Amino acid sequence: MADVVRMGVVGAGSIAVRGILPHLALSDVQDRVQLQAVCDPVPGRAEAAAERFGIVHAFSSIDDLLDKGEVDAVSIASPIGLHYEQGKQALDAGKHIHFNKTMTTTVDEADELIDTARRKGLKIVASPGEMLRPHNQRIKELIQEGALGTLAWAACGAAFGNYHEKEAVRQGEDVLSNIDPSWYYRKPGGGPLYDMTVYALHGLTGVLGAAKRVTAMSGVRVPEREFRGQMVPCDADDNTFMVLDFGKSLYAFVYGATAGRVTEGFAGSYFGTKGSIVGVKLNDKPFDYPGRELAESDRSGRQWLLPHVVGEHRDIGEQHVYEDVMQLVDWVREDKASIVTAEHARHVIDIIESCYRASETGQTQDLRTTF
């Protein structure tokens, strides 16, 4: 058992500044995890983050962080298209990894990282840990108990809107508040599937299990976006609609859209011969799950029920990301595996990658992974 996990954070962008760094800087976790190093290629950003959050080392590159940062593990919080290469570097350097969503953009990349980690005895926790949430666990139980009769179909998804352009962390004039969102709209790794629908897919497959096939239509609906007076060209698909086949004629409609929604947040909706579950309501009435009363007082959307989200952590954003980081910390310290697995993340990546291939070819794609 390691007493304290020395953590490096790769990328001091929005998710790190709003979530990972302020959570890990709080005094109540210092007996388990220490912010040891941060890196970011934007001049001065890593140094500014280190000063604000009391981090020991600041670097401009992951190479220096891994070589000189004195870390046991890293949280990779860089743009998604960089995750595979940076994850490979971290594993080669003998570091445990927390991946912010999404772990990679292809199954082959995920396979290599998982195999390397296994061979080296290293641990990977890959966000998002949607099945840590008690309401998702209860939805799975209700369906298995027959509360919906024969389950017929499900739906989930998310939409970009203009969320990233409008984030407060992007509107300022210093390096920690003028963070450019352009990568969200570009390949590889951009688009609402990798960034937002990934949450819904982790919840959906956590409840229903692994999918078997996918068919889809997908494309770029908004070819340019404006950020701070500049036009940003967009080549990552931003309007994607798919149908997943779970076997035995059980299907799910999944979307990663430019705008709008037909489901509640990132939550799945489930429909059967005896009724429906939409959000946290069974046949239009709230269902009970552990911690429901506390969850209903949580303005940030049932985040307070995540195991490590206590005390001051309830007042800091991106609690779910902090939770997943602490899943890795506990695993490293206690050798107790997390349910937030790289194998589950790989299956969701399989769905997304195969969805794009189905759209390009006009042919339904068989999925080749499970978890």
89 and 162 assigned to the same domain: no
Range of the domain at 275: 131-303+347-366
What pLDDT does residue 1 have? 56
Tokens of residue 81, six digits: 């298209």
Classify residue 216: in a domain, yes or no.
yes
Classify residue 308: in a domain, yes or no.
no
d(CA 80, CA 368): 22
109 and 56 assigned to the same domain: yes
120 and 144 assigned to the same domain: no
> pTM for the full model?
0.97
135 and 264 assigned to the same domain: yes
d(CA 183, CA 206): 28
Burial of 176 (0-12, 13-18, 19+ CB in 10 A): buried
> Does position 305 have pLDDT exceeding 60, yes or no?
yes
Q: How many domains does the chain have?
A: 2
What pLDDT does residue 332 have? 97
Classify residue 98: in a domain, yes or no.
yes
259 and 155 assigned to the same domain: yes
290 and 161 assigned to the same domain: yes
Q: How confident is the model at residue 299 (pLDDT cuts 50, 70, 90)?
A: confident
Calculate the CA 217 to chain-centre distance.
23
230 and 168 assigned to the same domain: yes
d(CA 3, CA 117): 22
181 and 82 assigned to the same domain: no
203 and 256 assigned to the same domain: yes
d(CA 254, CA 41): 35
65 and 89 assigned to the same domain: yes
Tokens of residue 219, six digits: 């494309």
Q: How confident is the model at residue 60 (pLDDT cuts 50, 70, 90)?
A: very high
Classify residue 314: in a domain, yes or no.
no
Classify residue 283: in a domain, yes or no.
yes
- Under DSSP, the state recorded for 300 is T
Classify residue 62: in a domain, yes or no.
yes
253 and 141 assigned to the same domain: yes
